[in-house]
Protein backbone atom coordinates (compact mmCIF):
# COMPACT_ATOMS: atom_id res chain seq x y z
CA UNK A 1 0.00 0.00 0.00
CA UNK A 2 1.33 3.40 -0.93
CA UNK A 3 1.73 5.99 1.81
CA UNK A 4 0.07 9.37 1.68
CA UNK A 5 3.49 11.00 1.21
CA UNK A 6 4.37 8.79 -1.76
CA UNK A 7 0.95 9.56 -3.29
CA UNK A 8 1.69 13.27 -2.98
CA UNK A 9 5.12 12.80 -4.56
CA UNK A 10 3.65 10.86 -7.50
CA UNK A 11 0.93 13.50 -7.97
CA UNK A 12 3.59 16.23 -7.88
CA UNK A 13 5.63 14.39 -10.51
CA UNK A 14 2.52 14.06 -12.70
CA UNK A 15 1.82 17.79 -12.44
CA UNK A 16 5.42 18.68 -13.29
CA UNK A 17 5.98 16.04 -15.96
CA UNK A 18 7.39 18.51 -18.49
CA UNK A 19 10.28 19.45 -16.19
CA UNK A 20 11.32 15.85 -15.45
CA UNK A 21 14.23 13.98 -16.98
CA UNK A 22 13.25 11.93 -20.00
CA UNK A 23 13.53 8.64 -18.08
CA UNK A 24 11.39 9.87 -15.18
CA UNK A 25 8.88 11.42 -17.60
CA UNK A 26 8.57 8.08 -19.41
CA UNK A 27 7.96 6.23 -16.14
CA UNK A 28 5.29 8.69 -15.04
CA UNK A 29 3.66 8.43 -18.48
CA UNK A 30 3.59 4.62 -18.24
CA UNK A 31 2.12 4.87 -14.72
CA UNK A 32 -0.59 7.23 -16.00
CA UNK A 33 -1.33 4.91 -18.91
CA UNK A 34 -1.93 2.03 -16.49
CA UNK A 35 -4.02 4.21 -14.16
CA UNK A 36 -6.23 5.47 -16.98
CA UNK A 37 -6.98 1.93 -18.16
CA UNK A 38 -7.75 0.86 -14.58
CA UNK A 39 -8.60 3.90 -12.40
CA UNK A 40 -8.66 1.68 -9.30
CA UNK A 41 -4.86 1.78 -9.51
CA UNK A 42 -4.95 5.59 -9.36
CA UNK A 43 -4.63 5.76 -5.59
CA UNK A 44 -4.93 9.54 -5.42
CA UNK A 45 -8.17 9.57 -7.42
CA UNK A 46 -9.59 6.71 -5.37
CA UNK A 47 -8.64 8.42 -2.09
CA UNK A 48 -9.91 11.91 -2.95
CA UNK A 49 -13.12 10.66 -4.61
CA UNK A 50 -13.85 7.72 -2.31
CA UNK A 51 -17.20 9.11 -1.09
CA UNK A 52 -18.26 10.30 -4.54
CA UNK A 53 -17.53 6.86 -5.98
CA UNK A 54 -19.80 5.37 -3.31
CA UNK A 55 -22.47 7.97 -4.07
CA UNK A 56 -22.44 7.88 -7.88
CA UNK A 57 -20.55 4.82 -9.09
CA UNK A 58 -21.46 1.82 -6.97
CA UNK A 59 -22.75 -0.03 -10.05
CA UNK A 60 -19.68 0.79 -12.18
CA UNK A 61 -16.89 -1.66 -12.82
CA UNK A 62 -13.50 -0.55 -11.52
CA UNK A 63 -12.20 0.33 -14.97
CA UNK A 64 -15.24 2.59 -15.56
CA UNK A 65 -14.98 4.58 -12.32
CA UNK A 66 -13.32 7.63 -13.89
CA UNK A 67 -15.87 7.67 -16.72
CA UNK A 68 -18.68 7.49 -14.16
CA UNK A 69 -17.16 10.33 -12.13
CA UNK A 70 -16.78 12.43 -15.30
CA UNK A 71 -20.46 11.91 -16.09
CA UNK A 72 -21.45 13.10 -12.60
CA UNK A 73 -18.81 15.82 -12.29
CA UNK A 74 -21.28 18.71 -12.57
CA UNK A 75 -23.76 17.31 -10.08
CA UNK A 76 -24.59 19.66 -7.20
CA UNK A 77 -23.71 16.80 -4.86
CA UNK A 78 -20.16 16.43 -6.24
CA UNK A 79 -17.41 17.15 -3.74
CA UNK A 80 -15.27 20.12 -4.95
CA UNK A 81 -11.97 18.32 -4.27
CA UNK A 82 -13.12 15.28 -6.22
CA UNK A 83 -14.35 17.55 -9.03
CA UNK A 84 -10.91 19.17 -9.15
CA UNK A 85 -9.25 15.73 -9.30
CA UNK A 86 -11.58 14.63 -12.13
CA UNK A 87 -10.69 17.81 -14.05
CA UNK A 88 -6.97 17.05 -13.59
CA UNK A 89 -7.48 13.56 -14.98
CA UNK A 90 -9.46 14.92 -17.94
CA UNK A 91 -6.63 17.36 -18.72
CA UNK A 92 -4.18 14.46 -18.53
CA UNK A 93 -6.34 12.40 -20.90
CA UNK A 94 -6.20 15.23 -23.44
CA UNK A 95 -2.40 15.13 -23.57
CA UNK A 96 -2.28 11.73 -25.27
CA UNK A 97 -4.97 9.51 -26.76
CA UNK A 98 -3.34 6.49 -25.08
CA UNK A 99 -4.37 8.01 -21.74
CA UNK A 100 -8.02 8.12 -22.79
CA UNK A 101 -9.37 4.55 -23.08
CA UNK A 102 -12.83 5.68 -24.23
CA UNK A 103 -11.40 7.81 -27.06
CA UNK A 104 -8.87 5.13 -27.93
CA UNK A 105 -11.62 2.52 -28.30
CA UNK A 106 -14.03 4.81 -30.17
CA UNK A 107 -11.36 5.96 -32.63
CA UNK A 108 -9.54 2.64 -32.96
CA UNK A 109 -9.95 2.55 -36.76
CA UNK A 110 -9.63 6.30 -37.38
CA UNK A 111 -6.37 6.90 -35.52
CA UNK A 112 -4.16 4.79 -37.82
CA UNK A 113 -6.22 5.77 -40.86
CA UNK A 114 -5.86 9.54 -40.43
CA UNK A 115 -2.93 10.06 -38.06
CA UNK A 116 -0.39 7.39 -39.08
CA UNK A 117 2.47 9.90 -39.73
CA UNK A 118 2.26 11.01 -36.08
CA UNK A 119 2.23 7.40 -34.86
CA UNK A 120 5.25 6.58 -37.04
CA UNK A 121 7.34 9.28 -35.33
CA UNK A 122 6.36 8.27 -31.79
CA UNK A 123 8.02 5.72 -29.55
CA UNK A 124 6.04 3.51 -27.17
CA UNK A 125 7.14 5.43 -24.10
CA UNK A 126 7.07 8.98 -25.45
CA UNK A 127 4.10 11.24 -25.03
CA UNK A 128 2.38 12.54 -28.16
CA UNK A 129 1.39 15.82 -26.45
CA UNK A 130 -2.09 15.97 -27.97
CA UNK A 131 -0.93 15.55 -31.59
CA UNK A 132 -3.22 12.60 -32.34
CA UNK A 133 -6.19 14.29 -30.66
CA UNK A 134 -5.51 17.45 -32.71
CA UNK A 135 -5.23 15.33 -35.86
CA UNK A 136 -8.63 13.74 -35.15
CA UNK A 137 -10.20 17.14 -34.43
CA UNK A 138 -8.90 18.54 -37.72
CA UNK A 139 -10.20 15.52 -39.64
CA UNK A 140 -13.59 15.92 -37.96
CA UNK A 141 -13.61 19.65 -38.78
CA UNK A 142 -12.87 18.81 -42.43
CA UNK A 143 -15.88 16.50 -42.52
CA UNK A 144 -18.28 19.04 -41.02
CA UNK A 145 -16.87 22.13 -42.76
CA UNK A 146 -19.52 24.64 -43.85
CA UNK A 147 -20.68 24.47 -47.44
CA UNK A 148 -18.96 26.84 -49.87
CA UNK A 149 -21.87 27.03 -52.29
CA UNK A 150 -25.38 25.79 -52.95
CA UNK A 151 -24.17 22.58 -54.62
CA UNK A 152 -21.94 21.78 -51.58
CA UNK A 153 -24.87 22.47 -49.26
CA UNK A 154 -27.18 20.25 -51.32
CA UNK A 155 -24.57 17.46 -51.30
CA UNK A 156 -24.14 17.72 -47.51
CA UNK A 157 -27.91 17.56 -47.00
CA UNK A 158 -28.35 14.59 -49.34
CA UNK A 159 -25.51 12.60 -47.70
CA UNK A 160 -26.50 13.51 -44.15
CA UNK A 161 -27.97 10.79 -41.93
CA UNK A 162 -30.58 13.43 -40.94
CA UNK A 163 -31.56 14.04 -44.57
CA UNK A 164 -35.29 13.31 -44.03
CA UNK A 165 -35.51 15.64 -41.04
CA UNK A 166 -33.66 18.47 -42.82
CA UNK A 167 -35.83 18.14 -45.96
CA UNK A 168 -39.01 18.06 -43.82
CA UNK A 169 -37.98 21.27 -42.03
CA UNK A 170 -37.10 22.98 -45.34
CA UNK A 171 -40.39 21.77 -46.91
CA UNK A 172 -42.34 23.02 -43.89
CA UNK A 173 -40.61 26.40 -44.15
CA UNK A 174 -41.41 26.71 -47.86
CA UNK A 175 -45.05 25.71 -47.23
CA UNK A 176 -45.32 28.30 -44.44
CA UNK A 177 -43.90 31.01 -46.70
CA UNK A 178 -46.37 30.02 -49.44
CA UNK A 179 -49.36 30.22 -47.08
CA UNK A 180 -48.14 33.55 -45.65
CA UNK A 181 -47.79 34.84 -49.24
CA UNK A 182 -51.37 33.82 -50.04
CA UNK A 183 -52.73 35.48 -46.91
CA UNK A 184 -50.73 38.68 -47.52
CA UNK A 185 -51.78 38.69 -51.18
CA UNK A 186 -55.47 38.39 -50.30
CA UNK A 187 -55.16 41.05 -47.61
CA UNK A 188 -53.37 43.42 -50.04
CA UNK A 189 -55.99 42.77 -52.72
CA UNK A 190 -58.83 43.49 -50.29
CA UNK A 191 -57.14 46.64 -48.99
CA UNK A 192 -56.52 47.88 -52.53
CA UNK A 193 -60.19 47.22 -53.47
CA UNK A 194 -61.44 49.13 -50.39
CA UNK A 195 -59.24 52.09 -51.21
CA UNK A 196 -60.60 52.19 -54.79
CA UNK A 197 -64.19 51.97 -53.57
CA UNK A 198 -63.84 55.11 -51.43
Rounded to two decimals, the pTM is: 0.64
Q: Under a CB-based contact definition with an 8 Å cutoff, are residues 22 and 38 in contact? A: no
Q: What is the pLDDT of residues 136-172, one digit of tens each?
A: 888 887 776 666 777 777 777 777 777 787 788 888 8
Residue 129 is predicted with a pLDDT of 79
Residue 196 is predicted with a pLDDT of 78
Identify the weakest region by mean pLDDT among 45-59, 64-78, 106-120, 151-165: 151-165
The band of 2, judged by pLDDT with boundaries at 50, 70 and 90, is low
DSSP string over 144-193: TPPPSSHHHHHHHHHHSTTHHHHHHHHHHHHHHHHHHHHHHHHHHHHHHH
In the chain, domain spans: 1-93, 96-145, 150-197
Amino acid sequence: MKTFLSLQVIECLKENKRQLTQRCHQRIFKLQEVEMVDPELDYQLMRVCKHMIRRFCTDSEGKNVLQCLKQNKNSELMDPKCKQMITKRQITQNTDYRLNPVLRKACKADIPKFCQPILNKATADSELEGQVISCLKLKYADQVAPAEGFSDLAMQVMTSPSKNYILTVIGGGVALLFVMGLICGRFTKRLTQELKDR
